[in-house]
C-alpha cells in the first residue's frame, strides 16, 4: 500500500505537464516555492534499478539571468530503502550514486541552490525549469527536463528511456545504399 501511495503522489505531480510525461516512468519533483529550503525528490516507477542520477542546470535561467548551482553538498539526504546515496559534483552539474534504488522506491535531498552569480540567491521551483535530469539504470539511460506542473509553483521532470542517436538496422542501411545505386543508374541513363 505504501508503494502505491508513493506512485500516486508521483503521478499526481505529473498531471498538467506535457505529453512527454505520458511515457515517463521515473519522476523527479520539486514541490512549492520554498526558497532557501529546496526538497527535491525522485521516484523510481521503472522496473529497473537506478544506479546514478545527474542534475544539469546549465540551461536554466534564474531571475538574475544566471543558472542554478549547488555549492557544497546537500543539507540532508534520504537514501532509497535498503541502499545508499552518495553525492558528487558541484556547480551546475551534480548528482548521486546509488547502491540500491529499486522499483517503487523514492529518494530525496534538501539543498539551498544559489545562482551562479549570487551566493545568497533565494531559488524556488520555478528556477528549475529547463534543467535536465539523467538517470542511469540497469536498462540504460532515462532522461527528462523540469517543467511547470499546471500553473505552478510545483515543477517536475518525467524521465523516459533515452537514446542519443538512432542507429539504423543493417537491412535499413543496405536498402538505403541499394536505393541510392538505383537513383544513380536512373540519372546516368537520362544523361545518355
pTM: 0.76
CATH level 2 (architecture), domain 2-167 = Sandwich (2.60)
CA 52 to the chain's CA centroid: 11
User: What is the residue extent of each domain of the chain?
Assistant: 2-167
Q: Are 96 and 52 in contact (CB under 8 A)?
A: yes
Residue 4, all three cell numbers: 502505491
What is the pLDDT of the chain when averaged over all its residues?
A: 81
The contacts of residue 174 (CB under 8 Å, 6+ apart) are none
Which range among 25-34, 89-98, 165-174 shows the weakest confidence by mean pLDDT?
165-174
CA atoms within 13 A on the CB side of 186: 6
Are β-strands 140-145 and 155-161 bridged in parallel, bridged antiparallel, or unpaired? antiparallel
Per-residue pLDDT of 76-116, as tens digits, reads 999 999 999 999 999 999 999 999 999 999 999 999 899 99
* 185 — pLDDT class (breaks 50, 70, 90): low
Amino acid at each position: 500500500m505504501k508503494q502505491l501511495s508513493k506512485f500516486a503522489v508521483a503521478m499526481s505531480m505529473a498531471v498538467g505537464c506535457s505529453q512527454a510525461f505520458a511515457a515517463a516512468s521515473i519522476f523527479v519533483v520539486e514541490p512549492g516555492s520554498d526558497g532557501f529550503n529546496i526538497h527535491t525528490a525522485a521516484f523510481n516507477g521503472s522496473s529497473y534499478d537506478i544506479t546514478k542520477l545527474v542534475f544539469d542546470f546549465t540551461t536554466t535561467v534564474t531571475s538574475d539571468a544566471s543558472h542554478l548551482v549547488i555549492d557544497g553538498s546537500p543539507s540532508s539526504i534520504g537514501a532509497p530503502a535498503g541502499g545508499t546515496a552518495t553525492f558528487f559534483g558541484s556547480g551546475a552539474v551534480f548528482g548521486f550514486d546509488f547502491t540500491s534504488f529499486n522499483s517503487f522506491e523514492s529518494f530525496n535531498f534538501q539543498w539551498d541552490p544559489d545562482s551562479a552569480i549570487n551566493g545568497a540567491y533565494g531559488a524556488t521551483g520555478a528556477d528549475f525549469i529547463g534543467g535536465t535530469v539523467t538517470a542511469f539504470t540497469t536498462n540504460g539511460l532515462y532522461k527528462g527536463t523540469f517543467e511547470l506542473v499546471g500553473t505552478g509553483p510545483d515543477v517536475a521532470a518525467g524521465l523516459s528511456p533515452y537514446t542519443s542517436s538512432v542507429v539504423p538496422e543493417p537491412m535499413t542501411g543496405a536498402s538505403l545504399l541499394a536505393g541510392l545505386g538505383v537513383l544513380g543508374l536512373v540519372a546516368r541513363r537520362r544523361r545518355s
